[in-house]
Amino acid sequence: MQIILQEDVEKLGNRGELVEVTPGYARNFLLPRKLGIEATPGNMKRLERMRVTFAKKEATEKGAAQTLADSLQGVSLSFARKAGDNEQLFGSVTSADIAEALEAQGYHIDKRKITLADPIKVVGDYEVPVKLHREIVAKVKVAVTKES
């Protein structure tokens, strides 16, 4: 089944692209979430006009993401957690914790944009990538210390 994407979908494509997907994926995921529309002849004619609006929207989003990335460069967060003798935390620091700490500093970033491979479970200093745009990734410094 052919779908015209209305939003960027990770590992599938970008806005305005025509992609081939299985009917179930389109029917159960892409269409209900308004991430894409069916590639009918009428929608194919509208595709060129849609691409122009997508390009304008893309430019503004990229500019906003770049300014946010520049302001995030100097941000450092610190977390104090209970830890054992071998510096192993009794919990972890997750992307939700980092998003909450950024929110407290005035940065409104969705926790899904913070790309931690695994939650932080050891005391130390880390650089956590924040994917603000598909081309722009900012790094936030996170320091995890042992609570006394």
What Cα–Cα distance (Å) separates residue 108 from each residue in 67, 111, 135?
Answer: 13, 9, 19
Q: How far apart are CA 55 and CA 65, in angstroms?
A: 15
The predicted model gives 54-74 an average pLDDT of 87
Q: What is the mean pLDDT of residues 41-51?
A: 86
Q: Chain-wide mean pLDDT for the chain? A: 90
What is the homologous superfamily of the domain 73-146 according to CATH?
Ribosomal protein L9, C-terminal domain (3.10.430.100)
- Give the span between the Cα atoms of 43 and 105, in whole angstroms: 43
- pTM summary value: 0.73
Q: Give the class (CATH, top level) of 2-69.
A: alpha beta
Res. 148: pLDDT tops 80: no
Give domain limits for the chain.
2-69, 73-146
What does the pLDDT look like over 4-34, one tens digit per residue? Answer: 998 888 889 988 889 999 999 999 999 999 9
Give percent above pLDDT 70 in the chain.
100
Q: Is the pLDDT of residue 120 over 90?
A: yes
DSSP-based three-state secondary structure for 62: helix
